[in-house]
Amino acid sequence: MRPVSPDEAGLARAARALQAGGLVAFPTETVYGLGAAVTDGGAVARVYAAKGRPAHNPLIVHVASLEAARRLGAFDGRAELLAEAFWPGPLTLVLPQRRPNRLSALATAGLDTVALRFPGHPVARALLAAAGLPVAAPSANPSGQTSPTTAAHVLADLGDALDPLRDLVVDGGDCPLGVESTVVDLSSPDRARLLRPGGLPRAVLGGLIGPLLGPEAEAPLRSPGLLGRHYAPRLPIRLDACEVGPDEALLAFGPDPLMGARIVLNLSVDGRLDEAARNLYAHLRRLDASDAAAIAVMPIPEEGLGEAIADRLRRAAA
Ligand code: TXA
Ligand code: MG
């Protein structure tokens, strides 16, 4: 399967594919998503099948505007504040569903809530606008494995699971942020809960609506997708490495990488967390393809975007 470019013709084809029940992988500012019309239960079922994703793990519904989101979710004052401030962008809001709606129950895993995101990537925005319907899209990787930040990653991971006659991959280049959206649960009126740290740092959100609970405590129960090993390469991962073994590849961070590793990739020589987030999945994939027996990871400060990076690495190591 060859990816299509995100020009007018390519986006029109991709929009028609979504409307016809096809799957379309597309870039967002965080990672590539594997999209399906959220009203089409058959198409949504094919997303779960392509990823090997358990049906109890709901999908994020992507929309082209705040108005479209308001038709699907019940926005309270906090949700309005966050959406006004950070949409379009790397933020997903879990809200009570507004009914009646045409969301496939499979997409929301039968819950009363819906996870909504208005992405900021120009290709994602253009595709959602052209399709004219909300699009359910998990990250475009096999369930539990490393997320894709290039079209080549998507093709390598899911190429065989897609139907060349119905499905498409839109190549919008590298994802600029590199880690998934921040997921905030506003479905109950008590304190907002961070279900997944991500591309929008916790402190930025807290500045608007006060401190967030989680994700530790109850989060795994509330967000089924957060259980167990996830975001994981094939090789075992060893965190907070202070030295490297002879058979280990090194995922370094900062100006002083540990000495002695045969294979080294540095997330950011300058110690920049935005650069580290952008490189995270591509570097993990390259080290995973090496002949090393394991991947040693240097410590990464857990501030700002570092919380999301550390979260993904911990889950990959679990
Ligand atoms: O950046 C992203 O969010 C990317 C791009 C493609 O938008 N998408 C993504 O989707 O990461 P996925 O399926 O890999 O992760 C969605 C997360 C899962 O942990 C899932 O359990 C949670 O969101 N989620 C979805 N709907 C939910 C709901 N109603 N309540 C609680 N958690 C929900
Ligand atoms: Mg995912």
The verdict on the CB of residue 58 being under 6 Å from ligand 1 is yes
Task: Give the chain's largest Cα–Cα span.
Answer: 61
d(CA 5, CA 237): 35
The verdict on the CB of residue 113 being under 6 Å from ligand 1 is yes
User: What average pLDDT does this structure show over 136-150?
Assistant: 97
User: What average pLDDT does this structure show over 211-218?
Assistant: 76
User: What average pLDDT does this structure show over 279-300?
Assistant: 98
**For residue 115, is pLDDT > 60?**
yes
The residue ranking higher by pLDDT, 220 or 132, is 132
The verdict on the CB of residue 145 being under 6 Å from ligand 1 is no
pLDDT on residue 215: 81
Which band of pLDDT confidence, cut at 50, 70 and 90, is reported for residue 160?
very high
User: What average pLDDT does this structure show over 100-123?
Assistant: 98
* Portion of the chain with pLDDT greater than 70, in percent: 96
Query: Pick from 315, 159, 194, 288: which is nearest to 234 by CA?
Result: 288
**For residue 225, is pLDDT > 70?**
no
**Mean pLDDT, rounded, of the chain:** 95
User: What average pLDDT does this structure show over 33-61?
Assistant: 97
Pick the residue whose CA is nearest to atom 10 on ligand 1: 138
**For residue 58, is pLDDT > 90?**
yes
**For residue 216, is pLDDT > 80?**
no
Task: Give the ligand 1 atom nearest the CA of 179.
Answer: 1
pLDDT on residue 172: 98
pLDDT in tens, 62-98: 999 999 999 999 999 999 999 999 999 999 999 999 9
**For residue 14, is pLDDT > 70?**
yes
Phi then psi for 193, rounded to 5 degrees?
Answer: -120, 130
d(CA 150, CA 26): 9
Question: pTM of the full predicted structure?
Answer: 0.96
How many whole angstroms from 262 Cα to the centroid of ligand 2?
Answer: 30
49 CB neighbour count, 10 Å cutoff: 12
User: What average pLDDT does this structure show over 149-169?
Assistant: 97
d(CA 25, CA 166): 12
Domains and CATH numbers, the chain: 2-209 (3.90.870.10), 237-317 (3.40.50.11030)
User: What average pLDDT does this structure show over 118-146?
Assistant: 98
d(CA 51, CA 180): 17
DSSP 75-138: --HHHHHHHHHH-SSSEEEEEEBPSS----TTTTTT-SEEEEE----HHHHHHHHHHTS-EE--
Q: How many residues does the chain have?
A: 318
The verdict on the CB of residue 82 being under 6 Å from ligand 1 is no
pLDDT on residue 219: 46
How many whole angstroms from 25 Cα to the centroid of ligand 2?
Answer: 13
Q: Is 264 helix (H, G, I), strand (E, B) or coil?
A: strand
d(CA 28, CA 310): 21
pLDDT in tens, 272-287: 999 999 999 999 999 9
> Which of 118, 139, 186, 194 maximizes ligand 1 atoms within 8 Å of its Cβ, making it the mutation to test the pocket?
139
